[in-house]
Chain A
Amino acid sequence: MTARPDSTPETLKYPHWQREFDAAILEGDPKTLRQRVDAAEAALFLRLQALAGNAEGQAEQRAIADAMRTLRAIQKEKLAYPDWHKK
């Protein structure tokens, strides 16, 4: 699912959000990580709205769900978001 960092929009499987997602997961600078994660989350969120009710987009919706889980893990582990599971 993850594209190489040098992927062009033409070679990305999910061009609406994959570049932003890759930028977030590859970001090594803690100062810009939050920005990257927010940008990826926004791109995923907007794409989800576009895919709503579209049966042909189910594979991409599953990929988006996976990507969202990855972003949540980054938020929890690297950005100190509280864990809502611990109730």
Chain B
Amino acid sequence: MPKKRVLLVDDNTAVRLLVRQLFELEPDFEIAGEAENGQEAVDKAANLKPDLVILDLSMPVMTGLDAAPLLRKLLPDTSIILFTVHEGSEVQRLANESGVDSIVSKSQVATELIPRAQALLEKSHSGKLPNAS
């Protein structure tokens, strides 16, 4: 089976490096590209056509919440995980409205991100995606 291609979007180089390392340990995934803000993510996604976008919330130029609907329109079958330190019902609501499929807390990246990505892509492969949760 071909590897799932991931576009990693975060303004912090060190955060991107750590997340990249997590995905590189997984045989099912490859990092197709990286972006430093939402606008760059949208621009790169058009060419890279990733299976999954890991999207930071707070970024310069364009936030993750502003980029998500553009990515959703551009690539309807791509899964989007919002990756944030901000938690709570407001983020949940805004993420749902923006077309995000799932939210992962930055405090639980090491334990939650890969399992969530795998679960999302399995659901995406087999049918409809769940709403952000």
B interface, by DSSP: helix, strand, loop or mixed? helix
Roughly how many angstroms separate A48 CA and B112 CA in the complex, as a whole number? 13
Given that A41-B12, A45-B14, A46-B18 are known contacts, is A79 also in contact with B60, CB under 8 Å in the complex?
A: yes
Residues of B within 8 A of A55 (CB): none
B107/A48 in contact, CB under 8 A: yes
Q: Is the CB of B58 within 8 A of A42?
A: no
How many residues does chain A have at the interface if contact means C-beta atoms less than 8 Å apart?
25
Majority SS of interface residues in chain A?
helix
Write out the residue numbers on chain A whose beta carbons fall within 8 Å of the beta carbon of B47.
Answer: none
**Interface pair A38/B12, CB less than 8 Å apart:** yes
Closest residue of chain A to B17 (Cβ to Cβ) is A42
Cβ-based interface call for B106 (8 A): yes
CB-based contact B14/A42 at 8 Å: yes
Which B residues, 63 to 109, have Cβ-Cβ distances below 8 Å to chain A? Answer: 63-66, 85-86, 90, 94, 97-98, 106-109
The answer to the question of A80 belonging to the interface, with a C-beta cut-off of 8 Å to chain B, is: yes
Q: Which residues of A contact B (CB under 8 A)?
A: 38-39, 41-42, 45-46, 48-49, 51-53, 61, 64-65, 68, 72, 75, 79-85, 87
Q: Give 29 pairs: A residue, B residue, CB < 8 Å, sorted on A.
A: A38-B13, A39-B14, A41-B12, A41-B14, A41-B15, A42-B12, A42-B14, A45-B14, A45-B18, A48-B107, A48-B109, A49-B18, A49-B107, A51-B107, A52-B107, A52-B108, A52-B110, A75-B58, A75-B60, A81-B60, A82-B60, A84-B57, A84-B63, A84-B65, A84-B86, A85-B90, A87-B65, A87-B94, A87-B98
